[in-house]
Amino acid sequence: MDEKKEKGEKRGNSFKKTQVYKAIFGDLLYGEFKLSSPINSLIRAVAKAMQLNPYNMSAGGRKIITYTFCLGGLSVFFFALLACTGTFLMLYYNPDVNKAYSNVEDFRYIVPFGVLIRNMHRWTAHLMVLFVSLHMLRVFLTGAYKPPRELNWIVGVFLLVLTMLASFTGYLLPWDQLAYWGVTIGCSMGENIPVIGAKGPFAVLKSGSDINAVLVGGASVGQPTLLRFYLLHAIAIPLSIVALMGYHFWRIRRAGGVSGPL
């Protein structure tokens, strides 16, 4: 019996020593969440959270222009700018196929500063997608995904995908030819998923009831798609990005700052 128990424990321990386990659970078990007393751990968590902006940091921070190129910071800045301009655009926009296009035309001709805000929203979105991907390149080249930062890399990959999806869902909202056919091409990818897409290999579902119909809300892009994409673009994706970003930054501090040259 005892031998069996020991063996079992050993097996569990060897799993705990793997990189995957440490990356995901390491902080929770060894870090400040170790519950000696609830108040203690709360104080320690707050103290750690405060270090999001520490008063002092290592000299690597001085090389911010030539080392990180501000890529991550500027991505956050672009996100904030997009949130501000996007909120303004929401005031005048209806996710309705009969109104959307004329609403967007109103930004050009009627709404004060409408054209400027819409342009800013569009160009900033392009810049954000570009900068997030460049940020990933920087993180890879400086080895900033290595322990203890693996989980942050994973969160970052999800943030990259979410950024692209946010931009893609926003692409449909003006409801012009560019948007309609661009999104039609993008969504046709859903039709080609094996088994659950209507046109994919080994398709079992018919067009109009496959996975693409769930995403688009019908057999082709239409009013349900516009409403879905509006909801995703204005609420679901930004909130997910904010949540993941918060965790992303906290993990940077938790790992002892940017993987800067010390």
Partner 1 sequence: MKEESREEGEVVVRMSDKEWEFVKDLNVRKKVKESFDALTPRQQDYTVRHLRDSLGVEFIAGLLFTLIIMVWSLFMDAPLKELANPSYTPADERAPWYFIGLQELLAYFDPWLAGVVIPTVLFVGLLAIPFIDPKKESGIGRYTLVERPVAVPAFCFGFALWYGLIIVGQFFRGPGRMFYWPWEDRTLLKGLHAVELVNFPVIGGIIFFILYYGIGVVVPQFIFRKFCETLGVARYYIFIILFLTMMLVPVKIFLRCVFDVKYILSLQIGNTMLNF
* Owner of token pair 């929203």: 121
* Contact indicator for 204, 196 with CB cutoff of 8 Å: yes
Nearer to partner 1, 86 or 200 (CB): 200
162's CB contacts (< 8 A; 6+ apart) are 237, 240, 241, 244
Nearer to partner 1, 164 or 236 (CB): 164
Nearer to partner 1, 58 or 209 (CB): 58
Report how far residue 135's alpha carbon sits from residue 234's, in angstroms, rounded to the nearest whole number.
24
Nearer to partner 1, 1 or 37 (CB): 37
> Which tokens go with 171?
């692409």
Closest contact distance (angstroms) between CB of 106 and partner 1 is 11
Closest contact distance (angstroms) between CB of 11 and partner 1 is 18
Nearer to partner 1, 112 or 143 (CB): 143
Please confirm whether the linkage preceding 148 is cis (ω < 30° from 0): yes
Closest contact distance (angstroms) between CB of 209 and partner 1 is 18
Distance of CA 74 to the CA centre of its chain: 15
Closest contact distance (angstroms) between CB of 158 and partner 1 is 9
Query: Which three-class secondary structure state does DSSP give residue 19?
Result: helix
Give φ, ψ of 8 to 5 degrees. Answer: -60, -45
128's CB contacts (< 8 A; 6+ apart) are 75, 78, 79, 82, 163, 167
Closest contact distance (angstroms) between CB of 13 and partner 1 is 14
